[in-house]
Each structure stands twice: as C-alpha cells, then as structure tokens.
Structure 1
Amino acid sequence: MSPLSALGVFSGLFLPMCLGEYNTHSCIPRKSVLYQDNLKLFREEGIWNYSTMLVREDLGLLLLGAREAVYALDINDISIKKSGVYWRVTEEKQRECTYKGKHAEIECRNYIRTLHKVDDSTMYVCGTNAFSPTCDYMTYSEGQLRLEEAQEEGKGKCPFDPFQKYSSIMVGNDLYSATSINFLGSEPVVLRSSSSALRTEFKSSWLNEPNFVYMDLVPESNNNPEGDDDKVYLFFSENAMEYDFYNKLTVSRVARVCKGDMGGQRTLQRKWTSFLKARLDCSLPEPSLPYIVQDVFLLKNDDWRKSVFYAVFTPQSSSSDMSAVCAYSVSAIGDVFDKGKFKTPVTVETSHVKWVMYSGEVPTPRPGACINNAARTLGMERSLDLPDKTLQFIRDRPLMDDAVHPLTGRPLLVKRGDLFTRLVVDSVLALDGETYAVMFIGTENGYVQKAVNYAGEMFIIEEIQLYQTPEAIRTLRLSSTGQLYAGSEYGAVQMPLSECGRYESCLDCVLARDPYCGWDLSTGLCSAVASSPFASVPTNMIQSLKDGDISQCPKSETMKPENYTLVPGNNIKLPCQPDSNLAQVQWLFSGQLLLSDTKYYIYNGGILILNASAANTGQYTCESVEQVNSRPYTRTMAVYQLLPHTNLDEESETMTESPHSHSTPLPDLLKVTEKPKALDPLPPPESQCEDGRVVGLQVVVALLSLMLVGLVAWSLYKGCFRSRFSENSSAGQVKRPSDDYMQIQNNITSEFKLLGPTPSLSANKNQNAIIAFKGNGEHHFSPGSNISTVDGLGYIDDESEI
C-alpha cells in the first residue's frame, strides 16, 4: 500500500460508521468539538466516583454525591463549592467488610447512591457504607450542608455493592427503590418504603437476576376519564424465562406498579398486586442477541399520554460495538399492559417449565390493573378489596406476551464505535413554532453527542469531548438554566446546552440545524433563540431545522486568493479543512474540477501537488460541499494563487532596489504573503559577504585535499593501499548528486531540501514566498542558506555539507 493510500485509510478510521439500512438515522456528528479548558470542572483530590446528582434549582445548587462525600455546588458554575460533608465508614465497619472478603480500599467504603428532595431544605441520602447500607437526612441552610445524624437502615433502599445497578425515586414522602436486600445480591426487590410498605415476591417469575436501570412516575390520574391511578415505571434487564436456550439469555424489560397499591387482603399481603412486566424491544439491523437497556429518560408532556421514554441500548456480546437509542410512548406501554395477552408457565414432558401465551379466561377486574372506575362500580375501592382469583392470577403470571415496540418501529439512532452510556432529553421550542426533543447522549470515552429527530431523520448536531482523557460518563442531568452536568469516576463537568458562537457564518449557523440557535441578521451573529412559548418570534432571525435552507442568508464576500511562488520539482501542500464532518471537499484548478491522480492527491486536510512544474501555476479553489435533504450547499473555504518562480538574480535586484522591504516570520504550514503594515529596515543582505565565505570554503577544501594526498602516499608506502581501499568501498559508497535527486523524485516520502539564499520579499504588492515541501506532505523552508546555487536552485549533494 502506498503512503498516500495508507493516509486515506488511517484518516477514515476516525469517522463513525453508518449502517446501510440506517444511513439516515445513524450519521456522523456534524461537528466534533475537542476538549476545551473553559469547561467547568469539579473534583477534589482523593475523592472518586462522582456518580449521584440532584439538581436543586430552588436552592441554586447541584448536589453531587461521590465516594464518602456530598457536595453543594453552584448550579451556574459547579467549579465553585459552596459546602460539603464527608460521610466516611468507621474502622469497625471497614474491618467487618474485609472479613467478608471485600476489598478494603475499593468496596469497603461509603458510596453515595441515593439523593432525593424531601422538602424545601431537606434531602434524603443513602450510602453503601462498607456493604452495610445506611440512610440519613441532610439539610442545606445558611450556606452550609449538614447531615442530621439520624441514620436508619438502608436495606432495600440502597444497594450493598457500590457497583451494582440500582434505581430509586421519591414520590411524595414515599421512596420507591429497586435493588437487592441481602449481602450477596441474590434477593432482588422492588420496594416502597412508607407506612404501607410493599415489595415484590421472591420468585424468579417476578425478577430473575435483574439489573435495575431507571424509575419514574407518570401522573396518569390527571384528566383520566377512566379514573385510573398514577403509575411508577421501572426499566431493567434480567435473565429471560420465556426462551429455551442452553445458556442464559438476558432481555430488557419495562414494569409498572400503581401508586395507590396497598397489597392484597389474603393473597399477596404486603406485596404488589399491580406488578406487571413486558419485554422491551429495540431491534438492530444486524442479527444479534437482544440489546440491553443501560439508561432511560422520561420526556414529560403536559398531556401524559404524549410523554416518551428514551432508552439507551448496548450489546450483551463483546463481539459487537454498536449501541442504539429507542423511544417508547407511555400510551403504547399502557396498551400492552391494559390490553395485551399474558404469558403462563406450562410443564412439558421433561419436567421443564415453558412459558407460552395464556389463552384462557382472564379474571375481572383485570389482573395488574389499578383501581379505576370499572373496579369501583364493582365495589372495589382499594387493592385490598380485589378477589383472590385476580391476585392469584397476577402472582403466577406477571409477564406479558406482547413486547413493547419502539415509537418509530425501529431505533432512532444507531452508532458504531464507543458505546453509549447515559442520556437526557430536552424539549426546545424553535422559531417555526414546533417543539423538538434534543438528546444529549454520553459515551464510554467521555463525549456527549447532541442529536435531534427531524421528521424521521436523526441528525447529530455535534459531539463534545468533556474530559481530557477518556472517562466513561456515568451520570447526566439537565437544568432549566440551559446547563448539562456530567459525572464520571474522575469528576463532574458542566457544559452549556448550546454555544451558538461556535458557528461563525450564516451558512454554518443555519446548516447546524440547532434548535437553540439562529442567525441574527441585525448583528451578523449566530445567537440563542428564546425558548419561552410567550416570547415573541424575532423577525430578524434565520433558522431552518428540517430543510437546512440557507436562501435567506446574505451573500458572502468573494474570498481573495493567497499568493505563493511555485518552486519546480517540489511537492506542494495547500491546506483546506471543512467546517463540517458531513462536508466533502472539492478542488478547482482555474475553474476546472480536480480529481486525485498521479499529479494531485486530494484528502480531507487539503491537496498535495506532486513534483510541481510550471504547468501547475494558477488559481486553486477549495470548496466544501454539504448535503442537506439531497440538496448540495457549496461554500468556498480557501483560494490559492500559485505564481511561476522568478530568477533569483532578478529578485536579488528587486531586493536591492527596495532596502526597506519587510518579511514576516514563516508559519508552520504556509507562508502567507500579505502586504506589510509597516516598513522595517532589513539587515545587510547576506549576498554581500557570500564571496568571502566561498573563498574561505575553497581554502578549507584545498587543505583537506592536501591532507588526503598525504594519507594516500603514506598508504602506498606501507603497501596496504589496495586492501584499505577495498574495505572502504565495501563499507559504503558515496552517492552522486544525480542519483540522490532521482531517489527523491521517485520516493515521495523522501525529504526535499531547498538550498541557496531564500529571496527576501519586496515591499510591492506582488510579494511572494518560495515554498518547498517534504515529499510526505510537510513543507521545509531553507531561509538564509549560504551555499551557492546552480542555475538559481541547488540541492544538497552530501548532507555532511550542512
């Protein structure tokens, strides 16, 4: 493979891959924003695992739970710590933990896993406490965070294992939690801690080695004509019972319970009478094991029926590197539970239990349903009034036969590469009057991807690197102040939901299709769009989210070319970097489209002109072409004018005629030859002392020649000239200048070195720079060289001359 081909392959490795069937849904982020020092970061030396967050906008705080610490941070700048408390394990607890086989410095610490609001100034906090979960109340007043020292048992409220998945939610004064209630983690439970505590049955048909992910409340009693109850939804994964495989198969589930559930009178006493679960489907285009849910976010709507759960899925096999986002409507989940068929266990010949669809009669009231108007007409006001037939049915058959399918029938977004970990979703009102759901998705390498769905087209606006070194994002939270907070093992980071100033032109601003941003015609800047539904729509702002229409943008000024002098025989690189990952670069030479061939190599960073000659002089234009809804938008990114190389003697005369010409320092890539703003005197030209240097060099060469003659005569005298000469010839041969030059011409990875004094730039408007490039695409300047040239240009015959 040639070096240029290898470069193209290597560059392609950095681009996320899209899947054939999902090309419109799994695309490359339009912009990639690398780590910036201006991000607000909080971490404290010696403290790790910043994975629990509670946003308290009423207090102006972000409560951040870590290992053995809770911090109260300024919600507008989390690098400012207002207060903090440290909750460390006692030596006795740590000793007990290590006796049970746990690691003293890793597992036998207190990891804060629960943070919930109780009232205006009080929070409920729980920690693993060296495998002895404990809870306490915490207050914030007069700028100080304090633990109330009213510790209580945390079993069932907080996990024993700090690295076990877990979820909880506070509904009123009741804590709903999903975790394990024993040291070994073998007794999973969905628990409500209240005056009427309820939990799930210890049966594998209810929970089979689950990993809990997310819980949230949906207020389904609001404006409900059926008089239904509010429900708590739970997302988790577990080993499937319904599939016959030799090995365990993990599937994703969604379950729900009713807020007003009080358990049964005789059957299911102090147990959930409304616990139902169904398989969560998020099928990817390639054949694989079911993907596993990792995180969920509920985007609430004033009409709860239009609320949507967004979920992140990753493979359960390490052979795949794809992750996906699927969306599920609350009403679709409700239909599966309220109208779907049940599964039932049956015993087959081998005494093996198999789960099949239940086709018998379903009792009334319907098993798993909340107390509603239909139940009340039958005289049932509480779950305690439900008949045993209904309760026995749900006790034995909590699994639905139907799966819950995604809102769009398939994943919203599919990505290959670093896996998704967490997500949050914001609702944004755009200038067209529509509300868009903007997803912020964290990855295992510390990036956040910002994506939105436009009429079935998933568009990734940008990806932002939050951590300088790869750090898996473990927590994401939003605030109504327009900030996103991310937590990891290393620390917590704050970033704005959008930085409109990142888009410098109208075309770039509009093609970004960012609901938060629009191009302000009055200021000529990309600015934030007011998201309040009561704000008046600005008439001087441009935004086109679905179409990416830039027709209203003012015409950009014609770009002036940058002038450069072409040195024959050199490789010349002209840089051009598109401002979008979705754009393709095309080059025009004197108005004609260029394609990569033996003379021109076009790549994502520019164009390389190989072995340049006088025929390659002219104007080169770099254009960025970006497709939006099959419409190409072209933008000129750079214009270069390569001028023919002039005789050095003529340039030397020009330099003599203009003793006050000014030459600016050469940058790393190209020498831009702009007209000087000030005329500074130059030092005496080096050409005035060159004759003296040449004479000196001649004298040195003559002396070396005499010494060589003496050595040859001495060798002949000793009779060993022939053998010494043979050894020297076999050890190494001196290359002729012509041989070395041909090698450079035929091997583009060799280095071009231009000799001779670089002509100074005159003060007139036709100033140009001589550019010499290495064959590998990098340039090399040889200013102020003192070795004489042949025909105006000279090449080093032997590098020992340098």
Structure 2
Amino acid sequence: MRSEVEPSRGDAWEAGGKRKSPFPPPPPPSPSWVIPPHTHPARPIPAPRLDSAGREAVGAGAPARQESQPGGSTHLGTPPAARRCVGGAGSPGQLRDAAKRFSRGGVSHYLTLTLDEAEALLYVGAREAVFALATGTVELKAAVRSRRWGAPQGWDSNPISGAPQELSGFTLDQVAFEDGKGKCPYDPTKGHTGLIVDGELYSATFNNFLGTEPVILRNLGPHYSMKTEYLTSWLNEPHFVASAYVQESAASSTGDDDKVYFFFSERAVEYDCYAEQVVARVARVCKGDVGGARTLQKKWTTFLKARLVCSAPEQQLHFNRLQAVFTLPGADWQDTAFFGVFQARWGDVDVSAICRYHILEVKKAFEGPYKEYREQAQKWGRYSDEVPSPRPGACITDWHRQNGFASSLELPDNTLNFAKKHPLMDEPILPHRGRPLLLKKDANFTQLVVDRVPGLDGTVYEVLFIGTGDGWVHKALNLGAHIHLVEELQVFEPAQPVESLVLAGRKKLLFAGSRFQVAQLPLADCSRYQSCTDCVLARDPYCAWSRNTSLCVHAEGLNGSQLVQDVLSSDTRACTLPQVAKQGPITPKNVTVVAGTDLVLTCRLGSNLARALWTFEGRALAAEQALVLRDARLRALVVPGAGAQHSGTYRCFSEEQGARVSGEAYQVTVLAGAGLPLETRAPLESLGLVWVVAVCLGALCLVLALAVLSLWRRLREELGKGAKAIESTLVYPIELPKEPPSPRFAPSAASDSDEKLWDPASYYYSDGSLKIVPGHASACRNGIPVAAAAAAAVAVSPPSGIPGQPLHSPTRIHLGPLRGSSSNGYIRLALGADERPPCADLAEELRRKLQQRQALPDSNPEESSV
C-alpha cells in the first residue's frame, strides 16, 4: 500500500510548548486513534424538496444531459441549467441511501484521502487527526492491532522551536521517526506532492521555513538521497500539484527505466515580457538516477521539464494555472493518460478547462530539442549546436550499458554540465486533439478523477468526475469528439469546495473530501431512471435497461442480450416501449385569464438536450405561428394579449432523439371583458406612485428652503457683529476747562470726611499717575458737543478750588454714550497751552505720560487709562 503523510508544520505555539490551533479543539483523544464502528453514524444526504407536482426541486442533484460543442469544448455563453431533476427521479429514500457522510466534532480539513482497496479502508488525514473508514459504510473501523507511539517520557521535540509536544494520547502502528524536512512543507498551504515507490519517497516541496528553496527530493530508500539544484532555471517559484509513477521499463525493448513525473506551475524565465508569466510544467526524473561522480553529486542528472499547453485558440484563451492532475493508467504504460484541470480569466469571468495528454506525447517532448539562454542576444531560444553523447537527461538504457555507462555515476562531465544548464525542453506538450477536452464558463473546477468503463458495444469509455468550488460533482462522458455531461450532484451543502477525490474501482464508489466532512457516493445511481427512454437517453455506461425486470440496472456482470444501452447515439428504438412513454393519463390544469393578459405556460423537459413540442386542440403549434412565442430560458410558451381565440387545451411534449414524453397539459379559459387588461391598470397604479413621489419631493424642497433661509439670517447677524469689531479706534479730543486760581491750601481743622477727600493715596496710582474717574454726563446735550458742554458746566459751577481732587459731579464728563457707540474709543485729555493750572508739576507729569503712552484696546470698558 502506498501512502503519504502530510503533517502540518505551520501551527502557532502557546507558551509552555503546547500547540495553539486556530480551529476548535478536538475532544480528548481516546487510548487508540482507531474508534469502534457506529460511534459516529454517517449523515445521509438530506431529502430533496418536492414541488406541488411531486417533482424534485432544483439543487438536489439531477441528470444533466449536456453536450459540448463540436471540437471538444462547450460554448462560452450561459451554460444550460443542468441541476434539474427529470421525470422519474428517485424517491427521497433512494437519494438518502445513495450517499453517506462522515465528520467528527472539533476536526476539520478532511483533505488527504488514501484508499486501500485490499483492506477496504479509506485513510483520512485531517487537521490533527487521522481516521480509518470502512468503505461502503464510511464508519470508523475497529483496530485489529495498535501500538502506542512510544517516545521518551511521553514527549517529543518540535522541529521548529524545540518546544515539547505531548504524544501520550496518540497510538500508531510500529513506525520509525524521520526528519520531516524536504518531505512535507512547513506551511501546509504551500503546494506539495509526493509518492512512495519501492520504499522510496519522492516528494516535491520546499526545503526551508521561508518557502524560498523548492526541491524535488528522494529519500527513505536504499539509493542515495537525491535533489534538484537551487537554480531558477530548474525551479522558479513553483506550485506543486501532483506526481505520477509510470513503469516504462515493463516490456521495454530498449531496457528503459521507470520514471516519476511531477506537475506544477511556475514563473516562466524563457519569455521576453515584463509581466510575471506563469506557465504549467511537467518534470521528469528517472528511478535509477544516483547523481554524478564530480558534477551534480547527489543531484538529479535526469531532471528535465517541459511546458504543458492548454488553450482555446478561437477564444484566445490560454490556461496557465494548473489546479489538479489525474493519472489514468492503462493495460500498458503506453496507454497512460494525464488529465489536467486548468483555470484562467476571460475578462471578468472565471473559466475552467480540462485537457488530456497522452504519455507518448510527453515522451516525445523530452526526447526533442533543448532550450538555452543566449548571453549575447539576452533571450531564450532553441539549442542548435551539437548535443553531447550520451544524451543529457536520458535514463540509463541498454545502449548506455553496452557503451560502458552502467549508471549515472559513470557519465562524462560534458554531459552532466549540459544537463545542469539545459533542463528546459524547447517543444511544448499539446493536449489531445490540440484543444481542451471540456471548457466551461463561470465554473471553478478543483479536482478530477477518471474511470474506464466498458460498454455493451465493447468500447471502453472514459467517465470523468469533476469537483467544483461550490460543492458539486460533474459526471461527464468522453466521447472523443465531444463531452457529454451525464449529471451534476451537489455533494456538500452549504457550498464548500471539493478539495479531494478518490475513486474506488472495485466497489464503484467515489469519495470526496472537504474542509468539514467526507462524503461517499456511488459512481452511478441507475435506479433514478424509471423508464427505458430515460435510461438510454442518459448515455451512462454504468447503466442499462433490463428487459426482464423493466428496470434501469448496473450493466456490469449481467447478460448483455437482455440489456438495452446505446452510449454513442442514444437510440431509443431498441426499447420495447412505444415512442410515447407509458404513463398514466395527465389531467389538464385549469387556467383562467382575463382578455388582454399575457399567457405563460411552462413545460417540464426530460433533460437539457430535450426540446419542447406544443399542441393546441391536438394540432401542433408551428414555431412561426403569429402571436405565439417560445422562451428558451423559461422553457415556456408565451401568448401575449390572450383573447377568446386562445381558449382551449394545450399539451407539451419533451422530445429527445425521436422519443417523446408527455410533460404538461393545460385547459385555458379566456374571459372577455370581465375586467381591465393588465396593460390598462398598470399605468394607473404607476401614476399614483408618481404623485406620491412628487409630494415627497416637494416637502423635501420646502424643508431645504427653510433651512437655507435660517442659515442665511444667522450668517448675516454674525457678519454684522464682525463689522463692529473691526472698525478703527476713534479718538475724541477733549479740552479741560480753565480753572480759576484757587487759594493755596492751608491745612486746618476739618472733619474726618474732608481729610478722606484729601487722602493722596486715594487719587494717585503707585507710579504717581493721576486717577481719572469716569463721569456720567451725556455725550451730547441739546446739540452741544460734550467738550463745550463740559466747559460751560465748569464756568457756571467752578470747583471748590481744592487742587488734585476729582471734579464735582456737575462738571464730570459722562462716558457711557461714548462707550455705547460703534467705536472702540478712548478720551484724550488735552491741556490748553494758554492757561495752565497752578499745579505746573502735575501738568507736566500728565503731559509726559500722554506722550509716552499709546492708545491701546480697552480690555475693561468700565475703566479709562492714560
């Protein structure tokens, strides 16, 4: 049994050495990793939804008889809806028994599937779990023998950080511990592949933690450990997809060696373009390669690679992203075929394609000319000089042994140096017939398996099972010139990509793995076809109609004389049934409409290849008949503006390959003048809607106008306040009135109040400045300016003659009106030059202060400063 182990080395780690997983933790491990059966019963497919007529609703899986366009590719237009159930579809119970599922709580990523048909076991590698499922029941099989995974003190060292990893809960059969470097990637999301041949592991992965050293490695065997050179001309950022082992030494007349093929995509180095061109490749190494003696020591001397071409020239589509590869072996190694799944972008649309390659075409490319890099021209081209002998990259054959080269260690240096510098072949490998076998728009093909099925006519047919990114499996039949889609089944719901597919040929089972579960499906469910016509028109090579039992049965192992099957032409004339399938009478459905209403009558077709035939009162409706339309998308008959002449019985037939099956029947009654036609009522209803919209728009405009008006008024007020603030400072010159000379002050006995008036500390600042007390007189009195009014007041009521005291209130100047003006004003007191007060020293002091100080903004409107 060949197996491969793909442990995950990219996990996060918690403190203390325990691994930290981004997924929910699984339940505690049991003493054995193999659990007794019936612990987790398989979950069946949910019962399909049925409509009122008892038909299965869309999405439950259905025969999808589709033909591709001549030449091997389907049309790039909108594909027909194939996920429909035909008449006579299996009952919910049959669908429930058709598939089984397995999953376990806390476990995800059921991606690695390895089948052991001899033991009837399916080994499933999941995230931090391994399961052994019994095929047929998809249940965990009880362990016959198991042994604990022994390790010193129950701990093992993590190869990344050296942190201890607990292993006491795991058990496994007797194995040897090996370093995982070069056998599996540090990051499980990196593309990798591998297989075991005669006890030796051939793996294609990355050799370092950063993923910058791609390597194709051989180890774990009696031969020397071999690997590729770290050169971009050998491997340049590859994405490994698959590997295959072909025993080309079997019955070889030249004594050729077995070969291992690796399929991957990588950045091309041979194209002169600025973009990073990605191409699909196939590389080859020989099983008996042991490296060179001096050059290429412990390196592959037979490593060669060539480009895989998959393109549709008429659509200018080139598929360079390789998604999956399946190797279909034949009775002889020369019958081996490779099926590749490719993806590309056509504008903004995803397109998937399947290309088929024959082993002889691959062998021819590796025996062709080499490609080399020309230093002078700075570009790649075909090597045109003489090729060294023995031929570089060739396996050791009888010719080599006869000429003294028993192994690669004895090859000359010129051959090895040439092989090191020229790993790329010049000629690409073209697909079968030069074009894709299947091409589909708006599809994301993920996986592929192929089975060879012998038909009753003696032809061996290739049946393809294609997994998609939304959880469907397409079953297609390769008829050589074109592809026939038999059916489409939704395996995983809700939609999740089909990550892996494994075919069990003996039990005719298909296993599909996804992130959250494993599903088991039969390769064919013939019981779904309940009539000879449906069974033959399905063109399923697994199924045939039995005349003895009148059932559609599996054809393998039965007497072919009593079976009816026609895969190539789907001719139903061999059926014992008449052209119109036997079925009970169909009761017409009563349909009553008003005159002037569009009449739409649907028709249920047997498959996507069938066409609808309509009859009216027993007479066929011609396709060009006036006022009758056929909508292919709706699969319906449309009568616009039905009138009284359209009343009657309508019948629909599903016709395919000359066979007719009754579909629907309608009894139509048209009522004349019973009400307004639909075209008359619709404008009135729409007019009311227009009025509602108009009123709403008017109210919205009114609200917006009011809001704009309010904002405009507020803005105007703010602008008015700002204008006051920016006006220039106004200065009002005021001349103090002349004061008559007063008698010199002589201190005398006075009251306490008089002494307070003469207190110097109350009328002088600390720097000796005179305090000027604001007055309360109006700025203008009877049209006379303030200065004049103040002078008159002084003349009429002279002060008491006490120098240095504030003026009496009758002669005080009122500054309130001035402060109420729009200016930020101050009063400048000017002393007359002719008459001066007796206090000369005080006047000089005041004049000096006035000259030194400048008019400043008044921070406190209740005070005046000089």
Q: 1: CA distance between counterparts of 2:443 and 2:131?
A: 30
Structure 1 segment 35-434 matched on structure 2, within 5 A: 38=97, 39-80=99-140, 82=142, 96=161, 146=172, 148=174, 150-193=176-219, 194-195=221-222, 196-285=224-313, 286-288=315-317, 290-315=319-344, 319-338=348-367, 340-348=368-376, 352=378, 354-434=379-459
Say yes or no: does 1:453 pair with 2:453. no
Q: CA deviation at 1:266?
A: 1.0
Secondary structure (helix, strand or coil) at the match of 1:146 reads: coil
1:519/1:191 Cα in 2 relative to 1: closer, same or farther (>3 Å)? same
Distance verdict in 2 for CA 1:536–1:247, change over 3 Å: same
C-alpha displacement of 1:433: 0.8
Q: Please give the per-residue CA displacement for 1:569-598, whole angstroms capped at 9, x wherever unaligned.
A: 286665431121222223221213165976
Q: Secondary structure at the match of 2:83?
A: strand
Would you say the 8 A contact 1:168–1:176 is kept in 2?
yes
Cα-to-partner distance string for 1:321-346 (whole Å, 9 max, x where unaligned): 111111111111111112x1001111
Match of 1:440 in 2: 465
Of 162-171 and 34-43, deviating more is 34-43
Residues 256-302 of structure 1: CA deviation (Å, up to 9, x unaligned):
11111111111111011110000111112322454221111111012
Q: TM-score, normalised by structure 2?
A: 0.63
Q: Give the distance between the partners of 1:602 and 1:67, measured in 2 at CA.
A: 50
Contact 2:207 2:214 in 1 (8 A): yes
* CA 1:302–1:248: 2 relative to 1, 3 Å: same
CA distance in 2, matches of 1:611, 1:317: 42
1:222-281 Cα distance to aligned partner (Å, 9 max, x none): 110011001001111111011011121000001111111111111111011110000111
Q: Name the counterpart of 1:538.
A: 560
Within a 5 Å distance, the mapping from 1:5-44 to structure 2 comes to 25=74, 31-32=82-83, 38=97, 39-44=99-104
Residues 68 and 482 in structure 2, CA contact (< 8 A), matched pair in contact too: no
Amino acid at match of 1:503: Y
For residue 533 of structure 2, give the secondary structure of its aligned residue in structure 1: helix
2:305 partner amino acid: K
2:615 corresponding residue in structure 1: 588
Q: 1:199 is paired with a residue of what secondary structure?
A: coil
Look up the equivalent residue of 1:569 and give its one-letter code: V
How far apart are the structure 2 equivalents of 1:594 and 1:90?
A: 81
Deviation (angstroms), 1:455: 3.4
Q: What secondary structure is seen at the aligned counterpart in 2 of 1:501?
A: helix
The alignment status of 1:495 with 2:521, answered yes or no, reads yes
Tell me how far apart the structure 1 counterparts of residues 235 and 500 of structure 2 sit (CA, whole Å): 25
**Equivalent residue in structure 1 for 2:647, among 609, 617, 620:** 617
Query: Match for 1:579 among 606, 609, 623?
Result: 606
- Secondary structure of 2:393's match? coil
**3-state SS in 1 of match to 2:396:** coil
Q: CA deviation at 1:616?
A: 3.2
CA distance in 2, matches of 1:228, 1:95: 42
1:489-512 alpha-carbon deviations (Å, 9 max, x no partner): 121111111111111221111111
Q: Which amino acid aligns with 1:500?
A: C
What code does the residue aligned with 1:517 have? C
Tell me how far apart the structure 2 counterparts of residues 457 and 289 of structure 1 sit (CA, whole Å): 20
Deviations 1:627-658 (A, max 9, x none): xxxx554432233445799xxxxxxxxxxxxx
SS of aligned partner of 2:462: strand
Distance 1:557 1:252, change over 3 A: same
Tell me, in whole angstroms, the C-alpha distance in 2 between the residues paired with 1:557 and 1:149. Answer: 63
Tell me how far apart the structure 1 counterparts of residues 245 and 106 of structure 2 sit (CA, whole Å).
36
CA distance in 2 between counterparts of 1:456 and 1:551 reads 24
8 Å contact kept, 1:18–1:415: no
**1: distance between equivalents of 2:160 and 2:255?**
54
What amino acid does structure 1 have at the position aligned with 2:330?
A: N
Identity of aligned residues (%): 38
The alignment yields a C-alpha RMSD, in angstroms, of: 3.8
SS at match of 1:560: coil
Change over 3 Å in CA distance of 1:614–1:522 after alignment to 2: farther
**AA of the residue aligned to 2:267:** N
Question: Is contact 1:186–1:209 with CA below 8 Å preserved after alignment?
Answer: yes
Q: CA deviation at 1:30?
A: 8.7
Which consecutive residues of structure 1, in runs of 5 or more, have no partner in the other structure?
Answer: 1-10, 100-128, 139-143, 646-737, 752-802
Distance 1:21 1:435 in 2: 21
**Correspondence for 2:802:** none
Amino acid at match of 1:341: P
Q: Report if the CA contact (8 A) 2:588-2:664 is conserved.
A: no
For the residue of structure 2 that corresponds to 1:394, the secondary structure is helix
Cα 1:747–1:610, aligned 2, differ >3 Å: closer, same or farther? farther
**Distance in 2, Cα, partners of 1:601 & 1:748:** 24
In the alignment, the residues of structure 2 paired with residue 94 and residue 202 of structure 1 have an alpha-carbon distance, to the nearest angstrom, of: 23
Aligned pair in 2 of structure 1 residues 551, 391: CA closer, same or farther (>3 Å)? same
The CA deviation at 1:599 is 6.7
Equivalent residue of 1:392, what SS? helix
The aligned residue for residue 562 of structure 1 is: 587
Matches of 1:165 and 1:501, distance apart in 2: 40
* Equivalent residue letter for 2:119: L
Contact 1:611 1:745 (C-alpha < 8 Å) held by counterparts: no
What is the rounded CA distance, in whole Å, between the counterparts of 1:433 and 1:401 in structure 2? 40
- Please identify the structure whose Cα radius of gyration is greater: 2
Q: Secondary structure, in 3 states, of the residue corresponding to 2:574?
A: coil
Q: For the Cα contact (< 8 Å) 1:744–1:750, is it kept in 2?
A: no
Q: Distance in 2 between matches of 1:276 and 1:244?
A: 22
Residues 66 and 318 from structure 1, CA distance in 2 versus in 1: closer, same or farther, beyond 3 angstroms?
A: farther
Task: Say whether the 8 Å CA contact 1:16–1:416 is kept in structure 2.
Answer: no
Q: In 2, Cα distance between the equivalents of 1:33 and 1:148?
A: 50
Report the AA paired with residue 368 of structure 1. Answer: G
Whether the 8 Å contact between 2:304 and 2:424 is mirrored in structure 1 is yes
Q: Deviations over 1:41-68 (max 9, x none)?
A: 1111221111101001122211000110
**Counterpart residue type for residue 535 of structure 2:** C
Contact 2:312 2:318 in 1 (8 A): no
Query: What's the CA shift for 1:32?
Result: 2.5
Q: CA deviation at 1:20?
A: 7.2
